[in-house]
Amino acid sequence: MSHPTLLSSTLRRLTVAVSLVTSTLFAALAAAILFPQSAIWTWALLFFLPIFWLHCYFPGYVSYSPTSFGRVREVVTSPRAVRECVVCGESDDSGVAREFSTQLVAAGIPLATTDRGENEYCERCHAVEFSPDDEVARGEREVPVPEDGSEESAELND
């Protein structure tokens, strides 16, 4: 299941609006106190971002690493009865459901969910598709071909 986005409910919208206002006020106040003779709005803008992030962090709106920016894909796998496998079409009482979501994230805060879905696999197809031992099936890397001890392979290894 995907993380709730920053503005996914009325209470969250209200909390973010209050956080925006208070973060702006605290940033302007901090800039005025720390740098009274300089351009206050430049410093206020620099103070605003970390203060606003902390306002989002404490209520639990930061769902990812603070260095996460852009699109983040998350897949949650859970065992359950499957009505129809997406690979073979069979039903299975000991199948696996994979819920996936792609979210637009800024500083670890999910802003919007761009893609969401679910795939159901029977136990046999899930073992073939997502086997931890079969890296080629997952497309991660090629399995090296074993050397047969021929002269050609011996020359290449020298």
**Structural domain boundaries in the chain:** 10-57, 69-141
With bands split at pLDDT 50, 70 and 90, how would you rate the model's confidence at 156? very low
With bands split at pLDDT 50, 70 and 90, how would you rate the model's confidence at 69? confident
- CB 85 within 8 Å of CB 125: yes
Query: Which of the given ranges, 12-16, 40-44, 77-81, has the highest pLDDT on average?
Result: 77-81
Q: Is 69 helix (H, G, I), strand (E, B) or coil?
A: strand
- Locate tokens 């359950």: which residue? 80
Quick one: pLDDT at residue 36?
Answer: 72
Q: What is the mean pLDDT of residues 48-56?
A: 71
Q: Is 8 helix (H, G, I), strand (E, B) or coil?
A: coil
Quick one: pLDDT at residue 109?
Answer: 77
Res 114 pLDDT > 80: yes
Quick one: pLDDT at residue 2?
Answer: 60
Which pairs count as long-range contacts for 38-41, CB under 8 Å and 24+ apart, including other chains?
Answer: none
Gap between the Cα atoms of 7 and 11, Å rounded: 9
Q: Give the up-direction half-sphere exposure of residue 49: CA atoms within 13 A in the CB hemisphere.
A: 8
Res 12 pLDDT > 70: no
With bands split at pLDDT 50, 70 and 90, how would you rate the model's confidence at 145? very low
Closest CA to 97 of 17, 1, 10: 1
Which H, E and C letters describe 14-44, residue by residue?
HHHHHHHHHHHHHHHHHHHHHCCCCCHHHHH
Quick one: pLDDT at residue 66?
Answer: 75
Instruction: Give residue 137's Cα distance to chain centre.
Output: 23
Per the model's pLDDT, the better-predicted residue between 6 and 66 turns out to be 66
Res 154 pLDDT > 50: no
